[in-house]
Structure 1
Amino acid sequence: MLNSLMRRIAGRCETHDRASYVVTARLEQEAGMPASPPPADFTDAHLDPNLIDCGHAWCRTRRH
């Protein structure tokens, strides 16, 4: 409970403020860096947090 309260106070979402391969690869491409190899797990390689609705209204307004 304390963790979720601290995240909310800081404006951090447990779902969307987490590193994912899709987001990292996109940032690497935009920066002109060589792409990192994808993870072996299919789910980890294709998980895009921006497609997930975490259910928090404050998070949706912050991301858009």
Structure 2
Amino acid sequence: MLLRLLHRIARRCPTHDRASHAVTTRLERQLGMQPSAPPASFTDTYSNPELIDCGHAWCRTRRW
């Protein structure tokens, strides 16, 4: 309950409050770092929260 309240106050949902592997890898390459190993799950490796509509009108993420 408290975590849901904090997400609501910060206007971030649980879907968009974590970085995806694709975004993290892109950032690591831009910074000249060795990309981290992909997660074991195919879904976690290729999911991109920026493309997911969470359904919350209060979430600050970009929409299509």
TM-score of the two chains, using structure 1 as the length reference:
0.77
Count of aligned residue pairs for this structure pair: 62
Runs of 4+ in 1 over 2 A off after TM superposition: none
Gaps of 5+ in 2: none
Asked if 1:53 is matched to 2:53, the reply is yes
RMSD: 1.5
Q: How does 1:13-28 map to 2 (within 5 A)?
A: 13-28=13-28
TM-score of the two chains, using structure 2 as the length reference:
0.77
Give aligned-pair identity as a percent. 63
Gaps of 5+ in 1: none
Question: Which has the larger share of helix?
Answer: 1
Higher relative contact order (CA 8 A, sep 6+): 2
